[in-house]
Amino acid sequence: MASRSADRRARSGDAEPGLLRALALTLASALVWGVAHLVTGRRLAGGALLGCFVLLAAAGAVAATFFRVDIVELAVKPDWLSGIAAGILVLGLLWVTVVIRSYQLVRPGGLSLGASTAGTVAVAVLCFAVAVPVSWGAYSTYLYRDALTSIFKTGGGNGRPVDAKDPWNGQSRVNVLLLGGDAASNRQGVRTDSMTLASIDTKTGDTVLLSLPRNLESFPMPPGPARDRFPYGFTGDGAGTPGLLNEVYQYAEDHPDLVPGAHKNRRGPELLKATISGILDQPVDYYILVDMFGFADIIDAMGGVRVKITSPIPYGLRGDVLQPGDRVLKGKEALWYGRSRTASDDYTRMGRQKCLLRAIAKQADPQTVLTKFDRLATATKHAISTDIPQELLPAFFALSTKVKDGAQIDSLQFVPPLIHTGNPDFALIRKLADKAVTADRAKSSPSASPSASPTASPTEGGTRPVTGAPSPGSTRTPTNPVSLDEACPS
């Protein structure tokens, strides 16, 4: 009996070093599939696993090097996202199976209970290390797809099928109405206090932002029921709606007969798009509405946004102040930065809002998006509504890449002293909007002349260049757009 016990201890002692070797081979197999199989003489299975691993790695490297844009464009295709999520889970399951099977092949016999338990725990930890990032990847893909399909609906572009080769249907520009909705707790409905038409060159990404003030009055309504009710311009409906441009959205929602056939939450956008199209004499293809309080959640999900404040801005209701200097603003602070009219005016606020959007666009880098993806997806889902269809997302993504990678972004605000909001000169508004868009189009043309540059605008007295772009705190408004890179402090 003593002899048999001693023999077992001897075998167990010989197996202990073998356990370390087995764990090392299992780790190697987790990093490069097939190692354990090849070491144990299973050449066919080992070669197959190694071949699959090399093929997957090579395919990933080639795709990341040569097809990066195509891969990123797949991220805005919901069907592909479903397949990617499923593929990630299958890959993770296969990977964990390889790890477990590798350990089974190289595990030595005769291990003591303690050594056997330690080996099993080590392999379980290794499987966990593989499963966690795989599960996170699949879950994030699901969250992203859910947010994408919640915000963007199917239905083609403007009622027509989207041609993958020509998604813009020959359009040289696409015009998107950017709306900031202020659904405050002390008021009923949504007021679109920020209204900007982004006219984007579909080839270069160069953009002109045409901004209308919230308090514009006496504007014409589009033909149909709206103009029938307000033949001489929008006048509102009593003290609650005195007739300002920011009331049109909610007025349409409250009066379905003005937009027959449109569903709830679509009546406002449709009437406002048509109204602004008439004011500017520019087509409005799509809209994006951002709820300003949801906007604060997006900024918090990013970890804040860095802006340069040039003068003190009152913050909150307790007398706090956003002091001048480089500041990282939290969501509510950024909301006040963009909305505050204390010691300033609507037009100064409009300038700050554009600079805030510019700062967010520049700071929403891939690292920020990836590390805070779940919070960003949830916040974005609840903050944004739009009529941009899913089918156009790849084209819009490619266009946004051009805008982010150095396209010129110019801004023109129709505010005093250029435009008197109480009695606007709509002929002048349309003329200046046309000049801004035409100048941007001419700038991207190889044959553009110097006078067609956005830094100069033809007037009755000749060509007047812009000298000194206004800051967000200035109310001076030139008759031609100015670059946001110059207008926003950095």
One DSSP character per residue, 38-71 reads: HHTT-HHHHHHHHHHHHHHHHHHHHHHHH-HHHH
* 291 and 381, same domain (yes or no): yes
The reply to whether 270 and 226 lie within a common domain is yes
Show which of 424, 458, 483 is a domain's final residue.
Answer: 424
How far, in Å, CA of 209 to CA of 201, rounded?
Answer: 12
Asked if 308 and 350 sit in the same domain, the reply is yes
Name the one residue in this structure whose structure tokens are 């029938």.
228
pLDDT tens-digit map of 167-189 = 888 889 999 999 988 765 555 67
User: Residue 472: its pLDDT value, please?
Assistant: 45
Q: Is the residue at 157 inside a domain?
A: no
Both 256 and 345 in one domain: the answer is yes
Q: Does a structural domain hold residue 467?
A: no
CA distance 164 to 77: 13
Do the domain assignments include residue 482?
Answer: no
C-alpha–C-alpha distance, residues 429 and 423, integer Å: 12
Q: Would you say residue 9 lies in a domain?
A: yes
Whether 284 maps to a domain, the answer reads: yes
pLDDT in tens, 35-84: 999 999 999 999 999 999 999 999 988 987 887 767 767 777 888 888 98
Whether residue 129 is found in the same domain as residue 263: no
As a whole number, mean pLDDT of residues 98-108 equals 95
Spell out the residues 6+ positions from residue 13 whose beta carbon is closer than 8 angstroms to its own: none
| pLDDT (0 to 100) of residue 486 | 62
Q: Which of 424, 455, 480 is the last residue of a domain?
A: 424
- The answer to whether residue 461 is domain-embedded is no
Average pLDDT in the 280-299 region? 89
Tell me, what's the pLDDT at 454? 36
**CA-to-CA separations, 304 to 62, 138, 299, 331, 390, in angstroms, rounded:** 35, 27, 5, 7, 29
% of the chain residues with pLDDT over 70: 80
Q: Which amino acid would we find at residue 50?
A: L
Give the pLDDT confidence score for residue 467 in this predicted structure: 30
Number of CB atoms found within 10 A of residue 257's CB:
11
23 closest CA partner among 111, 99, 136: 99
Residue 308 token pair: 């340069």
* Dist CA 9 CA 87 (whole Å): 47
First and final C-alpha spacing in the chain: 84
Residue 441 inside a domain? The answer is no
Residue 274 has pLDDT above 80, yes or no: yes
Give 479's DSSP letter. Answer: S
Any residues with CB less than 8 A from the CB of 469 and at least 6 apart, and which?
482, 483, 486, 487
Domain count, the chain: 2
The 3-state secondary structure of 180-245 reads EEECCCCCCCCEEEEEEEEEEECCCCCEEEEEECCCCCCCCCCCCHHHHHCCCCCCCCCCCCCCCH
On whether both 224 and 295 belong to a single domain, the answer is: yes
Compute CA distances 6 → 2, 10, 18, 113, 115, whole Å: 6, 6, 19, 16, 17
Residue 481 lies in a domain: no
Q: 243, 247, 252: which is closest to 224 by C-alpha?
A: 252
Task: Please tell me whether residues 57 and 195 are part of one structural domain.
Answer: no
CATH of the domain at 264: 3.40.630.190
296-307 residue pLDDT tens? 888 888 888 898
Helix, strand, coil share (%) of the chain residues, nearest 5: 55, 15, 35
Averaged over 384-408, what is the pLDDT? 84
Of residues 60 and 292, which shows the higher confidence score? 60
Considering the domain architecture, whether residues 127 and 275 belong to the same structural domain is answered as no
Sign of CA dihedral 65, 66, 68, 69: positive
For residue 336, the enclosing domain spans: 173-424
Q: Last residue of some domain: 424, 439, 470?
A: 424
My answer on whether 77 and 198 are in the same domain is no
**Is the four-CA dihedral 370, 372, 378, 383 of positive or negative sign?**
negative
Q: Are 146 and 377 in contact (CB under 8 A)?
A: yes
Burial class (CB within 10 angstroms; exposed 0-12, middle 13-18, buried 19+) of 46: buried
Q: Are residues 359 and 241 in the same domain?
A: yes
Residues 186 and 325 in one domain: yes
Q: Are 211 and 350 in contact (CB under 8 A)?
A: yes
With beta carbons less than 8 A apart as the criterion, state whether 42 and 127 touch: no
The reported pLDDT for the residue numbered 449 is 39
* Whether residue 124 sits in one domain with residue 41: yes
Highest mean pLDDT among 122-131, 174-183, 284-293, 408-417: 122-131
The pLDDT tens digits of the residues spanning 207-260 come to 999 999 999 999 999 999 999 999 999 998 877 788 999 999 999 999 999 999
